[in-house]
Amino acid sequence: MTDNHMRYLPGAFAQEGRMPGDPRAQRGREIAAAALEHAADQLAAVKAAIAHGDGSQWLLRARRGRLEHAAVAYAVALGYRPPA
Q: What are the backbone dihedrals phi and psi of residue 34, each rounded to the nearest 5 degrees, phi first?
A: -65, -40
pLDDT by position in tens, the chain (length 84): 344 444 444 444 444 455 567 888 899 999 999 999 999 999 999 999 999 988 899 999 999 999 999 999 999 998 888 787
Average pLDDT, the chain: 80
Contact 19, 13 (CB under 8 A): yes
What is the pLDDT at residue 83?
A: 80
What is the pLDDT at residue 4?
A: 41
CA dihedral of 68, 70, 72, 75, whole degrees rounded to 10: -140
What is the pLDDT at residue 12?
A: 46
